Structure 1
Amino acid sequence: MRAFLALLLVLVPVLVTAGCGLQPASSFVPPVEPAGIQSLPSLEGTPVRVTSKEFTEQLVLGKIAVLALTAAGADVTDQTNVQGSVNARASLTRGDADLMWEYTGTGWITYLGQTKSLPDPQAQYVAVRDLDLRENGIVWLPPAPLNNSYAMGVTRATSQKFGVKTISDIMKIPVNERTFCVDHETFGRDDGFLGMLKAYGMNYGKEVPRANVLRVSVGVLYNSVASGQCAVGMVTTTDGRVQALDLVLLEDDKKFFPSYNAAVTMRRELADAHPEIAKIFAPISAKLTDDVMRGLNAKVDVDGNVPALVARDWLRAEGFVR
Structure 2
Amino acid sequence: MRRAATALLAVPLLLAGCGLQAANQYTPEASPGSIQPVDGAEGVELVVGSKNFTEQLILGKIAVIALQTAGFDVLDRTNIPGSVPVRTGATSGEIDMNWEYTGTAWLTYLSEPEGIPDRTEQYESVREADLANDLTWLPPAEMNNTYAFAIRSEAAAELGVASLSDIANLPVEERTFCVEAEFASRNDGFVPMLEAYDLPLGSPDGVPRDNVSTLDTGAVYTATDQGSCNFGEVFTTDGRIESLDLTVLEDDRQFFPAYNVAPVLYTPTLEAHPELADVFAEITPLITDDVMIELNRRVDVDGEEPVDVALDWMRSEGLVS
Shorter-chain TM band: 0.7 to 0.9
1:86 to 69, 84, 87: 84
Are residues 102 and 16 of structure 1, via their aligned partners in 2, closer, same or farther at CA, if it must alter by over 3 Å? closer
1:142 to 139, 144, 154: 139
Cα distance in 2, alignment partners of residues 38 and 285 from structure 1: 16
Listed one character per residue, the Cα deviations across residues 57-101 of structure 1 (whole Å, up to 9, x for unaligned) are: 111111101111111122212212223333332332233322111
One-letter amino acid matched to 2:155:
T
Q: Secondary structure at the match of 1:101?
A: strand
Cα distance in 1, alignment partners of residues 41 and 28 from structure 2: 20
State whether residues 101 and 265 of structure 1, in contact with CA within 8 Å, keep that contact through their aligned partners in structure 2.
Answer: yes
Instruction: Specify the alignment match of 1:266 in structure 2.
Output: 265
Cα distance in 2, alignment partners of residues 49 and 110 from structure 1: 23
Q: Secondary structure at the match of 2:40?
A: helix
Following TM superposition, by how much is the alpha carbon of 1:176 offset from its aligned partner in structure 2, in angstroms? 4.4
Instruction: Specify the alignment match of 2:150 in structure 1.
Output: 153
Does 2:53 match 1:55?
yes
Cα distance in 2, alignment partners of residues 82 and 115 from structure 1: 26
Cα distance in 2, alignment partners of residues 234 and 133 from structure 1: 33
Following TM superposition, by how much is the alpha carbon of 1:212 offset from its aligned partner in structure 2, in angstroms? 3.7
Q: Secondary structure at the match of 1:311?
A: helix
Listed one character per residue, the Cα deviations across residues 157-178 of structure 1 (whole Å, up to 9, x for unaligned) are: 3223332222122234444453
Are residues 223 and 89 of structure 1, via their aligned partners in 2, closer, same or farther at CA, if it must alter by over 3 Å? same
State whether residues 84 and 185 of structure 1, in contact with CA within 8 Å, keep that contact through their aligned partners in structure 2.
Answer: no
Following TM superposition, by how much is the alpha carbon of 1:210 offset from its aligned partner in structure 2, in angstroms? 4.0
Instruction: Specify the alignment match of 1:230 in structure 2.
Output: 229
Cα distance in 2, alignment partners of residues 208 and 267 from structure 1: 45
Does 2:193 match 1:196?
yes
Instruction: Specify the alignment match of 1:45 in structure 2.
Output: 43
Cα distance in 1, alignment partners of residues 23 and 46 from structure 2: 20
Instruction: Specify the alignment match of 1:179 in structure 2.
Output: 176
Instruction: Specify the alignment match of 2:131 in structure 1.
Output: 133
226-235 or 168-177, larger mean C-alpha shift: 168-177
Instruction: Specify the alignment match of 2:240 in structure 1.
Output: 241
Are residues 123 and 137 of structure 1, via their aligned partners in 2, closer, same or farther at CA, if it must alter by over 3 Å? same
122-131 or 88-97, larger mean C-alpha shift: 88-97
Q: Secondary structure at the match of 2:30?
A: coil
State whether residues 282 and 319 of structure 2, in contact with CA within 8 Å, keep that contact through their aligned partners in structure 1.
Answer: no
Identity over aligned pairs, percent: 50
Instruction: Specify the alignment match of 2:115 in structure 1.
Output: 117
Q: Secondary structure at the match of 1:151?
A: strand
Cα distance in 1, alignment partners of residues 190 and 22 from structure 2: 32
TM-score by length of 2: 0.86
Instruction: Specify the alignment match of 1:169 in structure 2.
Output: 166
Q: Secondary structure at the match of 2:309?
A: helix
Are residues 212 and 24 of structure 1, via their aligned partners in 2, closer, same or farther at CA, if it must alter by over 3 Å? farther
Are residues 174 and 25 of structure 1, via their aligned partners in 2, closer, same or farther at CA, if it must alter by over 3 Å? farther
One-letter amino acid matched to 1:161:
E
Instruction: Specify the alignment match of 2:75 in structure 1.
Output: 77
Listed one character per residue, the Cα deviations across residues 28-54 of structure 1 (whole Å, up to 9, x for unaligned) are: 322222232112232222222211122
State whether residues 163 and 172 of structure 1, in contact with CA within 8 Å, keep that contact through their aligned partners in structure 2.
Answer: no
TM-score by length of 1: 0.86
Cα distance in 1, alignment partners of residues 96 and 247 from structure 2: 38
More helix by share: 1
Following TM superposition, by how much is the alpha carbon of 1:216 offset from its aligned partner in structure 2, in angstroms? 3.0
Instruction: Specify the alignment match of 1:67 in structure 2.
Output: 65
Q: Secondary structure at the match of 1:113?
A: coil
Aligned residues: 305
Cα distance in 2, alignment partners of residues 184 and 78 from structure 1: 31
One-letter amino acid matched to 1:278:
A
State whether residues 67 and 312 of structure 1, in contact with CA within 8 Å, keep that contact through their aligned partners in structure 2.
Answer: yes
Instruction: Specify the alignment match of 1:6 in structure 2.
Output: none
Instruction: Specify the alignment match of 1:7 in structure 2.
Output: none
Instruction: Specify the alignment match of 1:9 in structure 2.
Output: none
Task: Give 5+ residue unaligned stretches, structure 2.
Answer: 1-12
Cα distance in 1, alignment partners of residues 24 and 34 from structure 2: 26
Cα distance in 2, alignment partners of residues 68 and 116 from structure 1: 34
Cα distance in 2, alignment partners of residues 176 and 36 from structure 1: 55
Cα distance in 2, alignment partners of residues 72 and 232 from structure 1: 45
Listed one character per residue, the Cα deviations across residues 234-282 of structure 1 (whole Å, up to 9, x for unaligned) are: 1122222212211111111211011221100121121111111110000
State whether residues 168 and 198 of structure 2, in contact with CA within 8 Å, keep that contact through their aligned partners in structure 1.
Answer: no
One-letter amino acid matched to 2:180:
D
Instruction: Specify the alignment match of 2:33 in structure 1.
Output: 35
Task: Give 5+ residue unaligned stretches, structure 1.
Answer: 1-14
Listed one character per residue, the Cα deviations across residues 261-310 of structure 1 (whole Å, up to 9, x for unaligned) are: 11001211211111111100001001111111111111112221111000
Cα distance in 2, alignment partners of residues 42 and 84 from structure 1: 33
